[in-house]
Structure 1
Amino acid sequence: MTLALFDFDGTLTSKDSLGEFLKYSVSRGRYILNMIKFFPYFILWQLRLMKNSVAKEHLFRIFFNGISEDNFRDIATKFSHEKLDSIVINERMQIVKKHQANGDRVIIVSASIMCWLQPWCDKNGIELLSTQLEFINGLFTGKFLTPNCHGIEKENRIKKHLNLKDYEKICAFGDSSGDTQMLALADEATKY
């Protein structure tokens, strides 16, 4: 059996789903204000003085701290149904469908948030490993429930989720340094 591992943002999509989700979830004015608030963390991350995961938690805290889980999931599900297909690159989705048609196990491994990726994956019959937000008593805490599924965490999640020795062949598809460890697991790695 073949295992096909796909990054999502930039690999299967023409735009980053996080950026699109942030624009979708709040008004234009609030989006601009929140991005101004996030700017110092962005600079620290760009200067490598702050980890990607820490900067990303700050971003989510600025945008969504205290939002109810039901409200967040509603927004994320609507976004998934209304917007994700419009940023998916058809030619690359055909590669996913070819693997599925061959009976291969297809898994998306993404740093993006499960709340908006899961409905899309369910619709397309694809397994998902991704970052999850922490909700306590029905409210977003401003933290991640799981480590950000990026870089070495992609490898960790894959190895925890399945036994790679069960597969005759592993194919992996990615587009950035955040996919390096996942691509290294593959017999056939494709970097876009």
Structure 2
Amino acid sequence: MNRKLYLFDFDGTLTKKDTLFDFLKFSFSETYKSNYLLFLPLFFCAKLKLIDGGKVKEKFIAKFMKGLSSSEIDLLAQNYFNHNFSTLIHPKADDYIKSINNYHDKFIVSASIDFWIKPFAEYYGMGLISTQAQFDEKNVFTGRFASKNCNHQEKKNRIEKEIDLTFYDEILAFGDTKGDEAMFLMSTKSYYREFN
């Protein structure tokens, strides 16, 4: 029996929308709009590649979450999962993941932060490779990332670093943007916007 590795991008591939904005809007409804408007010029510049999009993302998340403990963040993430799972995940993706034989391995590989994806990965029994948040010695979020933004070439780098690929006969990758191209190139089969 062939051993297969399944690699799934998260936002827009498994989900119907971008979860960065959705999670922050859901968790910080009272301050979200004013903070979002404040960051609009930076988002625009990042879109035009004038500034590093990863740094803008880091600053935006820090605006809401810097100083929160890991247990406070886990509660927010679990609450987001509990209230949004059924409407957020593409039904076809849900069916597909649940049909994968336990003999094979499956991972979410995402540029999003590990905070809010963790409950989804745990629900599906999947490994998680994502942009990682940095916590200090008291387990408080510093507002910084502990890893590079897990997108484009960094997705491939992290996959190769964290998974022994010699173990698999086939690598199946699922994605929906240019950010997944490096992951597609290392796979034996790639699926673009398979579930939407």
Match of residue 67 from structure 1:
68
The residue that corresponds to 1:116 in the other structure is 116
Ranges of 4+ aligned residues in structure 1 off by more than 4 Å: none
Query: 1:37, 1:62 within 8 Å by CA — same for their partners in 2?
Result: no
Q: Which runs of 5+ in 2 are unaligned?
A: none
How far apart are residue 63 of structure 1 and its match? 1.9
Q: Which residue of 2 aligns with 1:105?
A: 105
CA distance 1:102–1:122, shift in 2 (3 Å): closer
Identity of counterpart residues, as a percentage?
Answer: 36
- Asked whether the equivalents of residues 4 and 106 of structure 1 are also in contact (C-alpha less than 8 Å), the reply is yes
Offset from partner CA, 1:52-89 (integer Å, 9 cap, x none): 21111111122222223322221112112221332100
Q: 1:7 maps to which residue?
A: 9
Equivalent position amino acid for 2:6 in 1: A
| Paired residue type of 1:124 | Y
TM-score between the two structures when normalised by the length of structure 2: 0.90
Q: Is the 8 A contact 1:77 1:115 kept in 2?
A: no
1:70-117 CA-partner distances (Å, limit 9, x unpaired)? 22221112112221332100112222223x226221111011221221
1:12: Cα distance to partner? Answer: 0.7
- Shifted more, 181-190 versus 134-143: the winner is 134-143
Cα deviation for residue 165 of structure 1 reads: 2.2
Q: Which amino acid aligns with 1:113?
A: I
Report the counterpart of residue 160 of structure 2 in structure 1. Answer: 159
Worse-superposed segment, 108-117 or 4-13: 108-117
Gaps of at least 5 residues in structure 1 are: none
Asked whether the equivalents of residues 12 and 89 of structure 1 are also in contact (C-alpha less than 8 Å), the reply is: yes
Q: What is the number of residues matched between the two proteins?
A: 190
Counterpart of 1:171 in structure 2 is 172
Tell me the equivalent position of 1:126. Answer: 126
1:27 shift after superposition: 2.2
Q: CA RMSD in A?
A: 1.5
DSSP-derived class of the 1:119 partner: helix
